[in-house]
Structure 1
Amino acid sequence: MRIGVAGKGGVGKTTIAATMARLFARRGYRVNALDGDPNPNFAAALGLPEAEIERLTRVPREGVMEERMGPGDEASLHLTRPFDEVVETFGAVGPDGVRMLTMTGLLGAGQGCICGQHGMVRGFVDELGALRPEDVTILDTEASIEHLSRGTVKSVETLLVVVEPYFRALQTLGRTVPLARELGIPNVYTVANKVRSTWDEATIRDYSNRLGAEVLAFIPYDDAAADADRHNQALIDAAPDSPTVAAIEEMVGTLIGSAPRRLPDRPTVAAASTI
């Protein structure tokens, strides 16, 4: 299962992505966490120690992926090294065995765009889907809609668009859903975060319905999430019994039950891969 997490900045998408990753892993799934944000925070939200985070290196295209011609002279990117070797070289294995990789990053002040990195992320996610179909790969995207215009998330099977019950967040949802459909992403869901009232629920549900996007989860406003961030802790470690974690746990169960590619009910985490 390949899941992309999108949304306006500050809506809580990285916290949700990280908590999902840990919860999938605790259910026995092999989980790959890919940070597609050039301002990366996924590793911290997962709960990696600071020393591990400092050792993370952006995955380069050179020596990791190569372009090959397919049917109809269509080029695509493919891994040239075993995935576990890529993790060992550039990433880290975090809490609950989640494999963490940083996929994008700025080249420096005034050094231009990172357009090529977007294409590499798309190819990387596509390869994981082909070579490791029983893995759960979660791509945390940057806080914009550029990853949609560049097709970065084109290879995901499910896109979760995280929103708050505020107009600007809903505006972003309204721009994201049509672009995701243009890319041909099979499943596009709304995830309502920081919900305080039935009015909030109704507002988000009504807006989503008008877009034809199902609301997958209503996650309540929870001071524990802000407290965890304030202390640089993973939410699932700081407040494992919080309402937010409970709501995300329920969402993970829903995703497993409706997976585009059926996930095994009680998977066996594979030994080191040779792909």
Structure 2
Amino acid sequence: MRVAFVGKGGSGKTTLSALFSRHLARSGAPVLAIDGDINQHLAEALGEEEKSAPPLGERLGEIKDFLRGTNPRITSREAMIKTTPPGRGSRLLRPLGDDELHSRHVGRAGGVPLMVTGEFDESDLGVACYHSKLGAVELYLGHLADGPGEYVVVDMTAGADAFASGLFTRFDLTFLVAEPTRKGVSVYRQYRDQAEQFGIRIAVVGNKVTCEDDLLFLKEQVGDDLLAYLVQSPWVRAAEQGRTEGGLDALDSLEPHNRHALTILREAVDSHPRDWDRLHRHAVEFHLRNARAWADARTGEDLAAQIDPDYVPGGTPLNT
């Protein structure tokens, strides 16, 4: 199952991404965390880094070559864009599978397997868009044949920037983290309106709730979309200041209410069956949008021809 955490900058989405990933890993579930935020802080939020790995953004060309495999519809890495869907001959992956992409790009932080997109650095200023780095994540999710009980948790870029690519359609459930303030729920309204157009499932997770008035405010503003809430956490603050021990067992010291909230989030994810047809339909739609808008002109090819009409989404991993 694929899960995204979005929200206003400073809402705590990276913290929630880390807590949820650790909660899953603590239970023994296979989980992969991915840092897709322009500010790369997920490794720090997960705990002390145990094993780093090259960022996905540094090897995008090689990743394209690997994923396209022997797919005859994709003529070169240059013709493969972030929305290019898989077809017959493409390499489909299992989460944390025994393949060169995972072996090269998966590190560990706080006991959780982690992939990162890479930082937006000085060489990118004025000449690049950060969302180009996210192209590797979009391609990865597009070629992922994950199943029930397998989890990929992505910490997305903050605010409405999450809509700058079709990546927001690649998840089974999106958690929108909202503080109990007007600014905190403003991104929720933006995300809700966009998500409704594409049938994207969202659930609001209140964060930094301090009193009954905070909770009532969230309920008034987001209604039935409010799935759960976390109270202001001394444990999280201590972790952010480096005053807690690392490792998955440390999560046992998290406040009982907040641990229960994480359980509610997992139950919500597990209760949503995978809709392969929706995922593939959105993949094709956004690929055609990109092809018409810029990619056909840039590559000199008709990229609509990359769509394999006989491809069945959710199939068995190939050529790995």
SS of equivalent residue, structure 1 residue 182: helix
Contact 2:110 2:247 in 1 (8 A): no
Q: Distance in 2 between matches of 1:63 and 1:131?
A: 22
Q: Tell me the alpha carbon deviations over residues 167-226 of structure 1, each in whole angstroms, 9 at most, x when there is no partner.
A: 1111111111112223432x21000001111111111112112xxx52111111112212
1:56 aligns with 2:70: no
| AA partner of residue 134 (structure 2) | H
More off after superposition, 164-173 vs 56-65: 56-65
When residues 156 and 239 of structure 1 are mapped into structure 2, their CA distance, relative to the original with a 3 A threshold, is closer
More off after superposition, 14-23 vs 78-87: 78-87
Q: Tell me the alpha carbon deviations over residues 26-75 of structure 1, each in whole angstroms, 9 at most, x when there is no partner.
A: 222110101101221111111243x63xx3321132122345549xxx94
Q: 1:140 aligns with which of 151, 155, 158?
A: 155
Partner of 1:76: 85
1:41 aligns with 2:41: yes
| AA partner of residue 164 (structure 1) | E
Choose between structure 1 and 2: higher helix proportion. Answer: 2
When residues 221 and 25 of structure 1 are mapped into structure 2, their CA distance, relative to the original with a 3 A threshold, is same
SS of equivalent residue, structure 1 residue 139: strand
Contact 2:173 2:269 in 1 (8 A): no
Partner of 1:101: 115
Q: Distance in 1 between matches of 2:319 and 2:24?
A: 22
Q: Distance in 2 between matches of 1:79 and 1:39?
A: 30
Q: TM-score, normalised by structure 2?
A: 0.69
Q: Tell me the alpha carbon deviations over residues 126-159 of structure 1, each in whole angstroms, 9 at most, x when there is no partner.
A: 322x245541000101112112232222110100
Partner of 2:254: 242
Contact 2:228 2:265 in 1 (8 A): no
| AA partner of residue 272 (structure 2) | A
1:258 aligns with 2:271: yes
| AA partner of residue 175 (structure 2) | L
Q: TM-score, normalised by structure 1?
A: 0.79
Partner of 1:14: 14
Partner of 1:180: 195
Contact 1:208 1:215 in 2 (8 A): yes
Look at both structures and tell me which one has the larger radius of gyration over its CA atoms. Answer: 2
Q: Give 5+ residue unaligned stretches, structure 2.
A: 75-82, 276-317
Partner of 1:31: 31
State the Cα distance separating 1:236 from its structure 2 match.
6.1
| AA partner of residue 24 (structure 1) | L
What CA RMSD, in Å, does the superposition of the two structures yield over aligned residues?
A: 3.0
Contact 1:8 1:169 in 2 (8 A): yes
1:194 aligns with 2:208: yes
Q: Distance in 2 between matches of 1:236 and 1:245?
A: 15
| AA partner of residue 218 (structure 1) | Y
When residues 236 and 149 of structure 1 are mapped into structure 2, their CA distance, relative to the original with a 3 A threshold, is same
Contact 2:6 2:13 in 1 (8 A): yes
